[in-house]
Homo-oligomer: A and B are copies of this chain.
């Protein structure tokens, strides 16, 4: 039975040896030589060092294109013209599926075409040496950002390739990203990844790990996101990870977002072992964006303002072209600079928001309830606990595409725009907390003169892209919409 225990060294070795044959580049990986490469890097490329010693939120975009030269050019642009403090390399979807053959085709096609045939950088196909070329070519530390349920080979190649931060986790890269992977399977795979990071860490090369906080990006109640962060943090810590960046995706309500980030940091420090350095990352709005760059800049602006107040260690920025597709480098840099301007203008201001403490207390109480349920469901073991809790629906994520989650929880905004829970499913919350959610949503239903319903949820899903925070009924039919074939 899979439990929350450290993977033995020989197991790590055995699995690594097996994975090596999954794709040609696996054979290039040599741990000792990789350590030497990392040691050759300047401190300014040490991800954990840079992140943990910063005295203001660091900015990081998302970015990945198929070919190496273009990826270097893209990241250099974001570093120089976007003033990014930390760089990303976003991996393509085929690699995320471990379909290296398809990724190879996409890479070849992209090399022969002006268009990008992959939605990211196929790092496994590029292999260790090309990853190092990338790391060498840039000045800032680079993180692997992906969404891969089984990221073992990706971790082997990219960590040997000089990356010092690796996003994801067994829940956060399962529940929102896949349909059929079981949690037992992804946890087992991520124990390997985390253990590998631990092995580097023990050799003095700290690998930063970053569970993916936004989950489905769509109206995720803070307590659910934080619970997943704590569990993934605990699992990673067991495997020897010592630098953990817990994530949270903006919901758009200033008070709730600041409260959630404070709760995340404080609970992270409470729950995780002392030897782990906990930092936080704030993702600018991860749900549907407005199909208009000017309005999108407004959403990004609110993200920057929120970051200035909450002061997370890192901010993942969005671009004004988020709605339409992978952004141009100019738009990507634009999102960075809009965010920077807001943070720099606001960070020294003493902004003391009423109501944060109450909201933070509610989030913490709710998170404790969910964590308690997880521990109970596993009889004290987090691995079994989280598998069982998701299975029973005691822990759940709204809009989860994965069969591993019930996906019964439905969120909606209250009259103040804070994300509350409308349909609890079997979520392990005490009645008094459910009562608070119900009464806030009841208020809203009264304000709008309609019943709480899936329609309200759907309106909230569309609200920000329609230019509002709360999906109030508008009355008008608004059939305008998009360019379609509706003749």
Contacts and interface: CB of A to CB of B under 8 A. Distances in A.
A469 B301 contact: no
Contacts of A464: 345
A487 interface: no
Interface residues of A, number: 47
A352 interface: yes
A342 B305 CA distance: 11
A302 interface: yes
* Number of identical protomers: 2
Max count, chain B CB within 10 A of own CB: residue among A293, A298, A299? A298
Interface in A402-420: 415-417
Interface centre among A254, A336, A339, A340 (most CB of B within 10 A): A254
Nearest to A469: B345
B415 A468 contact: no
Interface in A334-380: 334-342, 344-346, 348-355
Interface string A265-301: 0000000000000000000000000101111111111
A304 interface: yes
B337 A292 contact: yes
Given A338-B294, A341-B467, A353-B353, A348 B302 contact: no
Residue in A254, A297, A337 with the greatest tally of chain B CB atoms within 10 Å: A297
Contact of A301 (B290, B305, B350, B417): B305
A354 B333 CA distance: 34
A470 interface: yes
Interface string A235-260: 00000000000000000111100000
Given A295-B337, A295-B338, A254 B417 contact: no
A298 B469 contact: no
Given A348-B415, A349-B416, A415-B348, A338 B298 contact: yes
B298 A337 contact: yes
Given A298-B340, A304-B298, A350 B255 contact: yes
